[in-house]
Structure 1
């Protein structure tokens, strides 16, 4: 029986299936035997987006009359920002099996696994850590959970306790790293955050000043007033001073230490 669930969401682009390992190893080291009380689950949402991107990239290289310049940058933009564009576009398309709904159902499938390991107790705390585009993905999920949209429109056949868990009513901590939500909301007159799922909910956002894809969130407006932004210096000697710092958050001690403390608090252990 586990005491707390820790759920991870990756960022944009072509994602390593083992993207979570550095974070997992760091937390295991810090928590020791207490790690056994954590239900650790991993969301892979890029799975639904990568195949059509790979096929398009192959066609671009094969069928374009003139050779493309800056192919590494083009590939990064296609795979990275293509994820965000595809999810945003598909959210506005009709049908029961859009990319947007597939991603939501994947999150729910992972949450169901955690729910079982928590002994089907919908009151046990959930902690979520999301990187880069994953921050926007989980923000959208929380918005839809609160408003009853998309995958939450019809939850017939699901028990009341499990529905509450899937709606993340017991989410106590959201930790975001390299968050690019401001990029997606900057053109809105009044960006609006999802409603806090419970009064104990806390949102800590970590960003590196050299990371052009990672931003503070509190400044988005009044509805984001409760977000605590934490500037940290991520990466190593080669990456900490440039945009590659975007890839260094989950192995950084300035993130791992407070996240381990959060987990200890949620399993009622001294920090």
Structure 2
């Protein structure tokens, strides 16, 4: 039985270790429903999920920072300030530095180790789909960019990849679903932001010549942190299969920026991901 590994990576803000539990349960239920309704020979065991919990890298430091800044005297808008430390703090802390093994590398090491565990469960050369939300989409892009463009300036990734599985190396990256991605904002960090990751990876066809994967970017027009990607430049237009605008959330959130936090709960998203998973499995 050919298995597919699915990595789920969260966005910015304080997250619990079980952040992906509800999403994974709903995806499994929907896969079973769809397979049964279409008479597909799918048991559900073909799809193995793993969460990538990178928030632990920053969690304790952000709590200590929050305690420290309150010692200077009374502050207004405490709830908003706490949100900024937890949310914006992740994005600032994640930026790469010239010093070896700082937060950027620590987050990517968490990513790598999760993929290694996943490869043990599904097979070292099994197809990989990544479901990323918010800052998790940027981390995914950076991780696979470093893997796919490995060179002498990235010794940290070279050490990890020595003897690693094809899945962990990104060779079997088949699909990427980016949800509420602020990757467009990250383009401002680079003079030429024209080297997106390849999805499927350039080596994927060597493992699965007939498989159908791709990169789908989903955003809500009311989400001020989620943006289309194909319009950034020609390279991203070619790299991303489709920008898909959806109205995300419920009556309280689907018309305002709070929609940013509703992607992983939205039934449309669940159905879309299941459709792509079954399509990938059928093409293997």
TM-score of the two chains, using structure 2 as the length reference: 0.85
Contact 1:104-1:151 at 8 Å conserved across structures: no
Distance 1:117 1:72 in 2: 41
CA shift digits 1:83-102 (9 cap, x unpaired):
111111xx22322x321111
Unaligned runs of 5+ in 2: 33-41, 206-211
Distance 1:251 1:155 in 2: 34
Q: Map 1:55-70 onto structure 2 (within 5 A).
A: 55-61=64-70, 63-65=71-73, 67-70=74-77
Distance 2:226 2:155 in 1: 28
3-state SS, counterpart of residue 186 of structure 1: helix
Aligned to 2:276: 262
Distance 1:92 1:150 in 2: 14
Distance 1:43 1:82 in 2: 19
Aligned to 1:236: 250
Contact 1:27-1:35 at 8 Å conserved across structures: no
Against the structure 1 CA distance between its residues 187 and 98, is the aligned structure 2 distance closer, same or farther, given a 3 Å change threshold? closer
Aligned partner (choices 178, 181, 184) of residue 183 of structure 2: 181
Aligned to 1:135: 137
Unaligned runs of 5+ in 1: none
CA shift digits 1:133-188 (9 cap, x unpaired):
001101000110012125322247515xx1x3222111111000010111222354
Contact 2:213-2:280 at 8 Å conserved across structures: no
Q: Map 1:17-96 onto structure 2 (within 5 A).
A: 17-32=17-32, 34-61=43-70, 63-65=71-73, 67-88=74-95, 91-95=96-100
Contact 1:190-1:221 at 8 Å conserved across structures: no
Aligned length: 260
Distance 2:109 2:161 in 1: 15
Contact 2:148-2:170 at 8 Å conserved across structures: no
Aligned to 1:210: 222
Distance 1:119 1:229 in 2: 31
Against the structure 1 CA distance between its residues 150 and 216, is the aligned structure 2 distance closer, same or farther, given a 3 Å change threshold? farther
Distance 1:184 1:156 in 2: 26
